[in-house]
Structure 1
Amino acid sequence: MINRPSFVSAILEWRPTWLLARLALTSAYLLGGIVKLTDWQGAVAEQAHFGMSPPAFWAGLTIALELIGPVLILTGRLVWLGAGMLGVFTLLAAFTANAFWAMPAGQDRFMATNAFFEHIGLIGGFIAIAMIAQRREANA
């Protein structure tokens, strides 16, 4: 048995922790989807900025992914699908928006490198959430 502080065990065993962890992981996507939905022209302009064509199609797809993925994860229905959607989306976004390897050395490259690996960390979080959900379903 692992010897961990009792307060850590209490937090991990507290029923709302599972929901709060999923909300924390998906909050940026929910917010991004809502902001884009309420600012359609800005969402289209963002896609055009990254060279996505046609930008309106990609804006609509981005909004759908940023809203549907978190809803699946938060409701506990098809968590694997929501996590997979957001994981693939995040990987594609990392390569599209943070191509640090194509930048000259300097502050912009440093920031893009950090952002790229932060995206990789999020992908790990989606994998972990899918794995935990699968185990929870198997133990239910």
Structure 2
Amino acid sequence: MVQEPWLSWLLLTGRVAIAIVFLVSGVHKGIWFSKAVREFQDAKVPFLYFFLIGTIVLHLVAPVLIITGYFVLESAIALAMFTVIATIKVHHFWDMTGDDVLLHSRIALANLAVLGGLLLLAAVGPGQLVL
């Protein structure tokens, strides 16, 4: 088992790494809002603007909280729930054919890895390095 101070440094590095994925997504959705609207339309998301703005807020706020070490459990669980819902709603490779099956199954598996990281983070917390 990794001991302090390495444990907290590894947790901080992991927090930053997993948070950046969502932070960049939130920034991109904000900058290219019309493209995000089309993506949500293609996914047939109900109450599109409500959920799109909620997604952007979640993707901007939760990663900052994770990086700084505050509300890590709540933020990681919220992002984990989002990841499960988005994966099922958008990357439902089991309903697809052709090249889409391979592409979306790979994305779903990558999302599974992110989900695992978020759940581990929720389980162990931020460590001793809180910014």
Is 1:131 aligned with 2:123? yes
Q: Does 1:100 align with 2:93?
A: yes
Greater relative contact order (Cα < 8 A, sep 6+): 2
Q: Which residue of 2 aligns with 1:111?
A: 103
Partner of residue 6, structure 1: none
Task: Answer yes or no: is 1:69 the counterpart of 2:62.
Answer: yes
Q: Distance in 1 between matches of 2:51 and 2:11?
A: 32
Unaligned runs of 5+ in 1: 3-8
Identity percentage over the alignment?
A: 27
The number of equivalent residue pairs is 127
What are the within-5 Å matches in structure 2 for residues 42-53 of structure 1? Answer: 42-53=35-46
Pick the aligned partner of 2:81 from 66, 82, 88: 88
Is 1:33 paired with 2:53? no
Structure 1 stretches of 4+ moved >4 Å: none
**Secondary structure of the structure 1 residue equivalent to 2:74:** helix
Distance 2:8 2:49 in 1: 41
Per-residue CA deviation, residues 91-134 of structure 1 (Å, 9 max, x unaligned), is 00100111111112x32101111111211111110011111217
Paired amino acid for 2:62: G
Given residue 84 of structure 1, which amino acid in structure 2 is its aligned partner? I
The Cα offsets for residues 19-65 of structure 1, whole Å up to 9 and x where unpaired, read as 22111112121001011112222222221111112221121011011
Structure-2 residue corresponding to 1:24: 17
| TM-score when normalising by structure 1 | 0.80
CA RMSD in angstroms, aligned pairs only: 2.2
